[in-house]
Chain A
């Protein structure tokens, strides 16, 4: 059932985005998120559209993957659009539905916010689609490194994330086994009333958690046996290499951000 699970939504490939340094991508995405929040005119949104669609084009990610990622937040986008459309009272009245009046300003505002959400999800999924989770944690760890002196546990956070990533498929495999075992004992996961299904879920979750704790204990022991003693004096096998094209890519994003700020007025 869980055999073909892909962790995160990483889509292996060899595009320019795939080959970029994870840190560069993180910085670029942060900048783009800022830009998306700054845009508040049609001209601004037009520029954002050109920019993000351009980034998508060089990512080589098929459209259906993007749409699949959009699906869960569709309701959110439509919902916020409707909220703004009905509750903002600016501009002229376009239509009246019962006690509510729809203003032109509301429609505009709703479209803006909807687009904003859309682009935010687009940009962040492009990051996770083109960066393997391991590279992402490595990038995060190195970017958090300077914050260490303010007590941010960069290494620990990164290790936690990478262990979590490593164990997701294992936990799925285990869940599959437990489901089979409990089904053999009469639990109903796919049929029965809501109450029965909830009870069946409990019979899955309790053993899953107990096993996870046992596993964590064993893992800690194994790590200790291999000389783990925190982040001090540690070296790393994985090296991120920041090339010139990473600098250039970040600069392009930064310059476009500044330009957009003036252009949209």
Chain B
């Protein structure tokens, strides 16, 4: 089934101003992990915010699992299905303790109390935060806070998880923690992932990669093909990390075996 479908989507913040998105057409299948990269202002975040109705297209339409995203009562239900984690770990922590924050979405949805407790336990296991459930936000690291944010979406049993540059303010350790959780969620719980990022290393872990430029998806590749066509990123001002260069060089010298190793290394995200 199609998880997300963008149908001739255009968007601008005000009339007269420039288009942020211009006639975007794309589909994400269930179980995919799409990474969106691209320079600032290319429309990455705007596109991701169309998926849960935080923004509505000026023209065109967005469908989630076949249903159009429209303002109204159904948005609340949609937002349970589409979890979203934002960039700044400190700007999305609502409640005074971890447990209360994870519960926030469920409280909004009217989940009964005893079920909340169960779901919190499960989500805490999935994200490895069992030990900090009673902690206050200012005593947590950035990585821990983002894991709490992910747990806060998981308790609503989402089918699609959107990360809007959720790793960009984290240290390497925090990034690794978050990416490992995403891998688990994608593999084990079959959650579709849409990951907005600046980091090609992170993007290579998913199954598909979109490069956005000037409000449109300029390049749409599956991640294996992407490693064969890296030049496309280089020419589009996305600098290649070291191991990507290494892979290119190994291929140039026809070192097949070594190239295969490096490729696995990149795809598994060991470099993170």
Chain A interface residues toward B at CB < 8 A: 133-134, 162-163, 165-166, 169-170, 173, 215, 218-219, 221-229, 233-239
Interfacial chain B residues near A236, Cβ < 8 Å: 107, 113
Q: Cβ of A229: which chain B residues have Cβ within 8 Å of it?
A: 76, 108
Q: A215-B91, A222-B91 are in contact. Are A227 and B96 (CB under 8 A)?
A: no
Across the interface, which residues of B come within 8 angstroms of A233, CB to CB?
110
Question: How many Å lie between the Cα of A254 and that of B63 in the bound state?
Answer: 61
Q: Find out whether the CB atom of B138 lies under 8 angstroms from the CB atom of A169.
A: yes
Known: A225-B52, A226-B156. 17 other contacts (CB 8 A): A133-B96, A162-B95, A166-B94, A170-B90, A222-B94, A223-B94, A227-B79, A227-B80, A227-B105, A227-B109, A227-B156, A233-B110, A235-B110, A235-B111, A235-B112, A237-B117, A238-B100
Cα–Cα, bound, A228→B156 (Å):
13
- A-B contacts counted at CB < 8 A amount to 90
What are the residues of chain A within 8 A of B137 when measuring CB–CB? 166, 169-170
Give the interface centre of A173, A227, A236 by most chain B CB atoms within 10 Å: A227
A237 with B91: CB separation less than 8 A = no
Note all chain B residues with C-beta closer than 8 A to A219: 91-92, 94
Least CB separation from B111: chain A residue: A235
CB-based contact B91/A166 at 8 Å: no
- Select one of A165, A226, A235 contacting B96, CB under 8 A: A165
Shortest Cβ distance from residue A222 to the other chain B in the assembled complex, whole angstroms = 4
Q: How far is the CA of A223 from the CA of B105 in the complex (A)?
A: 8
Tell whether, in the assembled complex, residue B108 and residue A226 are in contact, meaning their CB atoms are under 8 Å apart: yes
* Beta-carbon contact of A218 and B88 below 8 Å: yes
Chain B interface residue count, Cβ-Cβ cutoff 8 angstroms:
38
B123 to chain A, nearest CB (A): 13
Contact in complex: A166, B96 (CB < 8 Å): yes
Interface membership of B152, Cβ < 8 A:
yes
| Chain B residues with CB under 8 A of A226 | 79, 84, 94, 104-105, 108, 152-153, 156
With most chain B CB atoms within 10 A of its CB, the pick from A133, A226, A233 is: A226
Q: Interface on B for A, CB 8 Å cutoff?
A: 52, 54, 76, 79-80, 84, 86, 88, 90-97, 99-100, 103-113, 116-117, 120, 136-138, 152-153, 156
Tell me how far the C-beta of A144 lies from the nearest C-beta in chain B, rounded to whole angstroms: 18
- Complex CA distance for A173 and B90, rounded to whole angstroms: 11
Nearest Cβ distance between residue B107 and chain A, in whole angstroms? 5
The complex places the Cα of A219 from the Cα of B94 at a distance, in Å, of 7
Q: A219 vs B108: C-alpha distance in the bound complex, in angstroms?
A: 15
Interfacial chain A residues near B79, Cβ < 8 Å: 224-227
Neighbouring A residues of B90 by C-beta, 8 Å: 170, 215
Given the known interface contacts A226-B104, A226-B152, the answer about A134 and B97 at a Cβ–Cβ threshold of 8 Å is yes
Q: Return the 8 tightest CB-CB contacts between A and B, nearest first.
A: A222-B92, A218-B91, A237-B103, A169-B138, A226-B105, A227-B79, A227-B108, A225-B84
* Contact B100–A237 (Cβ < 8 Å): yes
CB–CB B96/A234 < 8 A: no
Which of A162, A173, A218, A234 meets B92, CB within 8 Å? A218
Interchain nearest-CB distance for B115 vs A (Å): 9
Which of B90, B96, B97, B106 has the largest count of A CB atoms less than 10 A from its CB?
A: B96
- CB pair B54–A225 under 8 Å, yes or no, is yes
Which A residue's beta carbon lies closest to that of B79?
A: A227
Closest to A215 in B: B91
- Which residues of A have CB within 8 Å of B153? 226
A221 to chain B, nearest CB (A): 6
Query: Nearest Cβ distance between residue B186 and chain A, in whole angstroms?
Result: 20
A239 interface neighbour in B95, B108, B113, Cβ under 8 Å: B113
Q: List 22 A-B contacts (CB under 8 A).
A: A133-B96, A134-B96, A162-B96, A166-B96, A169-B138, A170-B137, A173-B138, A218-B86, A219-B94, A222-B91, A225-B79, A226-B105, A228-B108, A229-B76, A229-B108, A234-B110, A235-B110, A235-B112, A236-B107, A236-B113, A237-B106, A237-B117
Cα of A235 to Cα of B104 in the assembled complex, Å: 9
Minimum Cβ distance to chain A for residue B122 (Å): 15
B88 to chain A: closest CB distance in Å? 6
Q: Write out the residue numbers on chain A whose beta carbons fall within 8 Å of the beta carbon of B108.
A: 226-229, 234
CB distance from B182 to the nearest CB of A (A): 18
Contact B84 A237 (CB under 8 A): no
For residue B85, give the distance in angstroms from its CB to the closest CB of chain A.
Answer: 9
CA distance A21 to B96 in the complex (A): 19
Taking the closest CB of chain B, its distance from the CB of A134, in whole angstroms, is 5
From the candidates B95, B99, B107, B120, name the one contacting A166 in the complex (CB within 8 A).
B95
Least CB distance from B138 to A in Å reads 4
Interface-centre pick from B79, B91, B111, B113 (highest chain A CB count, 10 A):
B91
Taking the nearest CB of chain B, how far is it from the CB of A242, in angstroms?
A: 16
Verify B103–A222 contact, CB threshold 8 A.
no
Residues from chain B with a CB closer than 8 A to the CB of A166 are 93-96, 136-137
User: Which residues of B are found within 8 Å of A234, using beta-carbon distances?
Assistant: 107-108, 110
Q: Shortest beta-carbon distance, B80 to chain A, in Å?
A: 6
